[in-house]
Amino acid sequence: MAGAPGKPRGRSRLALAAVLVAALAAALGCHGKKAQQPKVIVIGLDGLDFTLTGQLMAEGKLPNLSKIAQRGFFQALGTAVPPQSPVAWSNFITGMDAGGHGIYDFIHRDAKTMVPYLSTSRVDETTRFFRIGKYQFPLNGGKTRLLRQGTPFWEVLAQHGIDTAVVRMPANFPPSGKADKEISGMGTPDLLGTPGTFQFYTTELFKYYGKEITGGEVHEVVVENDQVQDKIYGPTNPYLAPIEGQKPERLAEPFTVYLDPHRDAVKLVLADQERLLEKGEWSDWLTIDFKLAPTQHLTGIARFYLKQVRPELELYVTPINLDPLAPAQPISHPEDFAAELAERTGRYYTKEMPEDTKALNAGIFTPEEFLHQAELATEPQIVQLQQMLDDYRQGLLFFYFGDTDQVAHMMWRAMDPAHPAYNAAQDGPFAEVIPKLYQKFDRVLGYVLEHAPPDALVLVMSDHGFAPFRRAVNLNSWLRDNGYLATLDPTRRATSGFFDNFNWAKTKAYALGLNGLYINLAGREKDGIVPASEREALMKELSAKLLALTDTKNGERAITKVYPREEVYQDRGHLEIGPDLVVGFARTWRTSNESALAGLAAEVFSDNTAAWSGDHCMDHETVPGVLFGTRKLARPAASLKDLAASILVELGVQEPFPPRAPSAP
Amino acid sequence: MATLNSLLRQLFDLLLSPFAGLPSVVPVTAISVVVGVAMLWVYKKTSNQQKIEDVKQQIFASVFEIRLFNDNLPAIFRAQGDIFRRIPRYLSLSFVPLAWMLLPMVLLIAQLQFHYGYQGLQPGQPVLLKATLKPGASLPQDAAGALDVALSAPEGLKVEAGPVWVPALREVSWRLAAERPGSYQLTLKAGSESLTKTAVSSEKNLRRSPIRVGGALLDQLLYPAEDPIPTTSPFAEVKLDYPEAEVNLLGWHTHWLIAFFVLSLVAAFALKGWMGVEL
């Protein structure tokens, strides 16, 4: 080689030049992107119902969706089993069913400990600390992991040099980091690590005493000298070493409310921030800066709503959201994308599903207040969509709205006079809320059609439809009453949840989540008693009895399908996480809230009297979603599972999706 | 003091008007250089340059002594003692020029602060206006017992909420928002007394007064951007919460005053040789 110096030197120069060009391209952020790319814009409208959408289109109320349907197509889109949003969106993202992506419900359980956990993400526990006095500093853990398995379809697009922006995709917290721009949606917690915990301050003592309020905290306050002094509460301080026998100390930030002695208005002072609020007004976002330890802070944001000043002071505080300008946890990729959006459109809700359904359920909000709050949460999202459309040139843009789901959950009753809690005087005025909401998003879609490049394919999709939720079924109570579930204290027939009062030594099956039924299997469950050899027979027995279950109120069948997981799921890899049986409720029936949290009720059936009056966690065939497209798809999609592959084809990627072919059952 | 402030306001408004539409770093840099030169000139004229040079030479000699005799501990200690003895002498020689510069600098900084220290109100962005009562004063009430206090805003500026009366703070406040850019005058009425307050919604570097105060000397020295509140008014001060501004100095976002000190010192040290000044 040393004897032929000329050519190798030439080649090495060429190689050096190639390396320099590649380095320059990398430095300039080219990353092998295709210069000319197809264009696909996907608008996800959670819970947009196929039947209602078709009906409103027929009435001429959704002109833009009708326009899309005329130009391209409109069809029902098969949803997931079970038809729950995290499951359904994971089907869409990965092209696999729950057997492959491992998300079966909002809630799963760790069979080894029987501790329930949120299905989509988990924070690694800190096990090692460095202690100085009262403080402890974590040496490991604390990292949030996305539990959804499989390859998101935008990762495949990125590998093929296609631009990708994925905004608020559910079941994508923390963001996968595989799209060019991502911001997390459903599954993103508030600063307390919960799906959203509001705080409500009232001078009306005992009004909420003893009432079960989920998703919020009520603090009783006292007015002294026209002032109220209290604290906003954060999570427990991870830097404070636990003291034996004492509850962990929660972070708290004091605030003062000064009441005008003459008018229904207050001045709110929180740290160095001051706001004036008249009765019925919302503040903008205030920063809440919790001090963890010297030099360590935890920052979130919240809005205040002055519900009332007299005769009782009532002040609502939104769940403390991660501040998009400086999030305490990763909510976007790149990390500064969340801040970039906030700088352009103002701060916004970062927690999943910002519409505060819990506050309405608890009676803190009136329906009007709930609808106003939902609008406040959605408006910045619409502005963000407009900004994203301004920036959009090519590739994939996915943008998600959850308002259509959350408002439908809370306001469906207004369209359903057969609902047990329907009150014509109270609910009648809201009968048009959901149709008007559909019309609002139709206008948003009009904007999209107007501002999308003319050669872009615009798809509008939903993950499932909707149905009335009139009657609740407590599966755990049914299991108990039929001898499959034993209790430690038979006189305690009602429990709030988390397996309280369950006698595992005599329990053969239990329910957890909105559609899941588990066998208490020996060797799998912590205190399992059913031998593996008896599992299948027990499942068959339970299925037959559940399918024959009739509602005590009207004699109608409450359950239309019961699916053994081995039969209903085609994909494999994470089948063992899921429930043994997936229960498909008939339209208008659903699991009771207590049963979903592994609790018991005195009766199996009960009227659903909560504001949460519409639902979709039923038999998946009763609640299909929708799919619209401005042109016919080269590869049609019948269900959510197929849609990502169709989008890949539209974007010029022909390879099979999911990339790893699921193994046969 | 009020008359002096009025004259200074007019003078600075006039001098700074050519810079109003430029990024604030431009006028701040220009002013810093001019002030650096002016400080050098004052320093030269009001200090004993020969004595300053002598004492600096003595300090340098001691530093040199330490380096030269670094194996001789008693000599090092003696040299250090000489340095410590001469530093107060050096500082005392700087005192006279600093005293000459103090008052003009306070007046200058007070004027500049209200041109470059605050951003204009952003249209649509709410802001609080807070009026604090004087000790012993009370708000007038009408026949029905309601507070007889009102704020009127010209077109383009909207009063969104208030008045909110907080007895514990002796404060009445309103929430305002500019609807469009402009320079506005608010009128605050309490019974028969009325009081005005400026409000500026503009991206330009215009004079903005975040607080209007009474006629006390210190108040007028520190807050010269508006005329003092008349003594007959029940209010001690009226505040408008302008957001604070920053100067972008080559990507370094900082308070204008920090940029001003850095740039004027750089200018002074860069030009001292040319102007023949011993610092």
One-letter amino acid at B221 equals L
pLDDT at A248: 86
Hey, is the C-beta of A547 within 8 angstroms of any chain B C-beta? no
pLDDT at A507: 98
What pLDDT digit, counting tens, does each position of A34-87 carry?
Answer: 889 999 999 999 999 999 999 999 999 999 999 999 999 999 999 999 999 999
Peptide bond into A83 cis (omega under 30): no
Q: Of A241 and A552, which is predicted with more confidence?
A: A552
Hey, is the C-beta of A284 within 8 angstroms of any chain B C-beta? yes
DSSP-assigned letters across all residues of B124-186:
T--EEEEEEEPTT----B-TTS-B-EEEE--TTEEEEEEEEEEGGGTEEEEEEEESSSEEEEE
Distance of residue A281 Cα from the nearest chain B Cα, in angstroms: 10
What pLDDT digit, counting tens, does each position of B27-66 carry?
Answer: 999 999 999 999 999 999 999 999 999 999 999 999 999 9
Count A/B contacts: CB-CB distance under 8 Å.
46
Interacting residues of A92 by C-beta distance below 8 A, sequence separation 6+: A461, A463, A640, A641, A643, A644
Query: Per the CB < 8 Å rule, is B147 touching A274?
Result: no
Helices (H) and strands (E) in chain A, counts: 17, 33
Distance of residue B4 Cα from the nearest chain A Cα, in angstroms: 34
pLDDT at A8: 42
DSSP-assigned letters across all residues of B15-74:
HHGGGTTS-THHHHHHHHHHHHHHHHHHHHHHS-HHHHHHHHHHHHHHHHHHHHTTT-HH
One-letter amino acid at B96 equals V
Hey, is the C-beta of A274 within 8 angstroms of any chain B C-beta? yes
pLDDT greater than 50 at residue A1: no
Using alpha carbons, list the distances in angstroms from residue A648 to A153, A397, A463.
Answer: 8, 13, 18
Query: Per the CB < 8 Å rule, is B166 touching A267?
Result: yes
Interface test with A, best of B147, B175, B176 (most A CBs within 10 A): B175
Nearest to residue A233, comparing CAs of A303, A349, A320, A293? A320
Hey, is the C-beta of A297 within 8 angstroms of any chain B C-beta? no
Which residue has tokens 């998946």?
A620
pLDDT at A7: 41
Pick the residue from chain A with its C-alpha nearest to B166: A260
Q: Of A463 and A496, which is predicted with more confidence?
A: A463
Query: Per the CB < 8 Å rule, is B162 touching A258?
Result: no
Q: Please report residues of A whose CB lies closer than 8 A to that of B175.
A: 275-276
pLDDT at A324: 97
Query: Per the CB < 8 Å rule, is A276 touching B168?
Result: no
Using alpha carbons, list the distances in angstroms from residue A63 to A58, A122, B9.
Answer: 10, 43, 60
Hey, is the C-beta of A598 within 8 angstroms of any chain B C-beta? no
A296-302 β-sheet, strand order = A286-293, A296-302, A321-322
Query: Per the CB < 8 Å rule, is A258 touching B168?
Result: yes
pLDDT at A661: 54
pLDDT greater than 50 at residue A664: no
The span from the CA of B121 to the CA of B244, in Å, is 10
What pLDDT digit, counting tens, does each position of A582-604 carry?
Answer: 999 999 999 999 999 999 999 99
Pick the residue from chain B with its C-alpha nearest to A283: B126
pLDDT at A121: 86
Range in A196-200, A646-650, B230-234 with the lowest mean pLDDT? B230-234
Q: Please report residues of B whose CB lies closer than 8 A to that of A260.
A: 163-166
Pick the residue from chain B with its C-alpha nearest to A284: B126
One-letter amino acid at A132 equals I
The span from the CA of A360 to the CA of A354, in Å, is 13
pLDDT at A660: 63
The span from the CA of A58 to the CA of A13, in Å, is 68
For residue B138, how many other CB atoms are within 10 A of its CB? Answer: 12
Select from A225, A278, A284 the Cβ nearest to the Cβ of B161. A278
Distance of residue B19 Cα from the nearest chain A Cα, in angstroms: 27
Cβ-in-10-Å burial (0-12, 13-18, 19+) of A200 comes to buried
φ, ψ dihedrals at B11, nearest 5°: -65, -50
pLDDT average, residue stretch A94-103: 97
CA B222 to chain centre: 7
Hey, is the C-beta of A264 within 8 angstroms of any chain B C-beta? no
Q: Please report residues of B whose CB lies closer than 8 A to that of A226.
A: 166-168
Which residue has tokens 């402890």?
A136
Interacting residues of A663 by C-beta distance below 8 A, sequence separation 6+: A571, A572
pLDDT at A30: 46
What are B's interface residues with A at a Cβ cutoff of 8 A? Answer: 126, 128, 146-147, 161-169, 171, 173-175, 241
φ, ψ dihedrals at B189, nearest 5°: -115, 135
Select from B164, B167, B168 the Cβ nearest to the Cβ of A265. B164
Pick the residue from chain B with its C-alpha nearest to A277: B161
Give the SS3 label for residue A213. Answer: coil
Query: Per the CB < 8 Å rule, is B161 touching A261?
Result: no
Select from B146, B162, B167 the Cβ nearest to the Cβ of A276. B162
Could you tell me the two tokens for A138?
């974590």
pLDDT of chain B along its 279 residues, tens only? Answer: 888 889 999 999 999 999 999 999 999 999 999 999 999 999 999 999 999 999 999 999 999 999 999 899 999 999 999 999 999 999 999 999 999 999 999 999 999 999 999 999 999 999 999 999 999 988 888 887 788 999 999 999 999 999 999 999 999 999 999 999 999 999 999 988 999 999 999 999 999 999 999 989 899 989 999 999 999 999 999 999 999 999 999 999 999 999 999 999 999 999 999 999 988
In this prediction, residue A579 has a pLDDT band, given cuts at 50, 70 and 90, of: very high
Interface test with A, best of B165, B173, B176 (most A CBs within 10 A): B165
Give the angle subtended at the CA of B152 by the CAs of B146 and B158, to the nearest 5°. 115
The span from the CA of A327 to the CA of A336, in Å, is 9
Nearest to residue A648, comparing CAs of A123, A125, A154, A3? A154
Residues A464 and A50 sit within 8 Å (Cβ to Cβ): no
pLDDT at A205: 82
Interacting residues of B241 by C-beta distance below 8 A, sequence separation 6+: A274, B127, B128, B129, B130, B210
pLDDT greater than 90 at residue A662: no
Nearest to residue A406, comparing CAs of A355, A460, A366? A355
Select from A226, A262, A275 the Cβ nearest to the Cβ of B147. A262
The span from the CA of A545 to the CA of A535, in Å, is 15
In this prediction, residue A16 has a pLDDT band, given cuts at 50, 70 and 90, of: low
Residues B181 and B201 sit within 8 Å (Cβ to Cβ): yes
pLDDT greater than 90 at residue A242: no
Range in A202-211, A532-541, B189-198, B252-261 with the lowest mean pLDDT? A202-211
φ, ψ dihedrals at A600, nearest 5°: -120, 155
Using alpha carbons, list the distances in angstroms from residue B178 to A6, A122, A284, A318, A536.
Answer: 74, 45, 16, 27, 71
Q: Please report residues of A whose CB lies closer than 8 A to that of B163.
A: 260, 263
Residues A349 and A185 sit within 8 Å (Cβ to Cβ): no
What pLDDT digit, counting tens, does each position of A306-337 carry?
Answer: 999 999 999 999 999 999 999 999 999 999 99
The span from the CA of A421 to the CA of A414, in Å, is 10
Pick the residue from chain A with its C-alpha nearest to B145: A262
pLDDT at A131: 84
pLDDT at A3: 36
Query: Per the CB < 8 Å rule, is B164 touching A281?
Result: no
Q: Please report residues of A whose CB lies closer than 8 A to that of B126.
A: 284
Could you tell me the two tokens for A321?
């959201």
Does this model's pTM top 0.90?
no
Pick the residue from chain B with its C-alpha nearest to A224: B168
Pick the residue from chain B with its C-alpha nearest to A261: B165
Q: Please report residues of A whose CB lies closer than 8 A to that of B170.
A: none
Distance of residue B128 Cα from the nearest chain A Cα, in angstroms: 7
Element holding B232 (H helix, E strand):
none
Percent of chain A clearing pLDDT 70 (strictly above): 94
pLDDT at B178: 96
Residues A399 and A452 sit within 8 Å (Cβ to Cβ): no
CA A228 to chain centre: 35
Q: Please report residues of B whose CB lies closer than 8 A to that of A274.
A: 128, 241
Residues A592 and A472 sit within 8 Å (Cβ to Cβ): yes
What pLDDT digit, counting tens, does each position of A100-143 carry?
Answer: 999 999 999 999 999 999 999 888 777 888 888 888 888 877 78
Interface test with B, best of A276, A286, A305 (most B CBs within 10 A): A276
What pLDDT digit, counting tens, does each position of A485-514 carry?
Answer: 999 999 999 998 999 999 999 999 999 999
pLDDT at A126: 79
φ, ψ dihedrals at A293, nearest 5°: -160, 170
Distance of residue A347 Cα from the nearest chain B Cα, in angstroms: 13
pLDDT greater than 50 at residue A157: yes
Which residue has tokens 């009720």?
A601
Interface test with B, best of A223, A227, A229, A260 (most B CBs within 10 A): A260
ipTM for the assembly: 0.85
Dihedral in degrees, nearest 10, Cα atoms A356, A603, A579, A127:
60
Hey, is the C-beta of A260 within 8 angstroms of any chain B C-beta? yes
Which CB contacts under 8 angstroms, 24+ apart, belong to A503-506? A504/A114, A504/A528, A504/A529, A505/A529
Q: Please report residues of B whose CB lies closer than 8 A to that of A278.
A: 161
Query: Per the CB < 8 Å rule, is B241 touching A267?
Result: no
Query: Per the CB < 8 Å rule, is A226 touching B168?
Result: yes
Pick the residue from chain A with its C-alpha nearest to B146: A262
pLDDT at A18: 52
One-letter amino acid at A254 equals P
Nearest to residue A526, comparing CAs of A511, A541, A545, A507? A507
